[in-house]
Amino acid sequence: MAVVNAYIVHAYVWEKERKKKMPHYSFLTTLHRQLIQETESSFTEAGTSTDPTAVVREKPIAIQDDHSLVQTTDTRLNNGVHRLRQRQCKVCSYYKPADKKREGTSTFYCAKCSEGKKGQVTLCNKVRGHQANEGMTCAQIWHILWQNGLFAPKASHIRDRSLAKP
């Protein structure tokens, strides 16, 4: 399965660079040749990446102190069990594909951004892999790139809804 995934990634990268990809057989023979040439020392040596885009951030990007995520206290009854209510993440709602109903749900919201709004600004604290913002959580995208929602892209499926009265 890993070899098939490697070829899929290879084809994607070469297609993105608009170059002709290797046929599957050629890719497999090249991969096998490279794997056979590996030695024990190549697995124990710590190598460094030469590609600066491949560097993973060691520290996560911090958001402002007053803009921290708070877990909601709203609950719902599900088969006799009280569960925390999950709402749609604002960032995931923007990035969701048009043919999908839901994307990311979360039980966290930003209390500071929710002040003066009709409802809570729900944000997930997971790295979702949105193409334009690889490696950032939805909370970081909302607070840093979109500057607390001031520069959030306008989309038809982001709504400012009020909370239901208990």
- Name residues whose C-beta falls within 8 Å of residue 96's C-beta, 6 or more positions apart in sequence: 102, 103, 157
Say what the pLDDT of residue 53 is.
46
Q: How many other β-carbons are positioned within 10 Å of the β-carbon of residue 137?
A: 23
Q: Are 138 and 123 in contact (CB under 8 A)?
A: yes
71 secondary structure, DSSP code: E
The domain ranges of the chain are 2-42, 69-145
Maximum Cα–Cα distance for the chain, whole Å?
67
Extract the residue ranges of the chain whose pLDDT is less than 70: 18, 45-65, 155-166
Query: Where do we find the tokens 């520069």?
Result: 151
- Name residues whose C-beta falls within 8 Å of residue 145's C-beta, 6 or more positions apart in sequence: 133, 136, 151
Say what the pLDDT of residue 47 is.
55
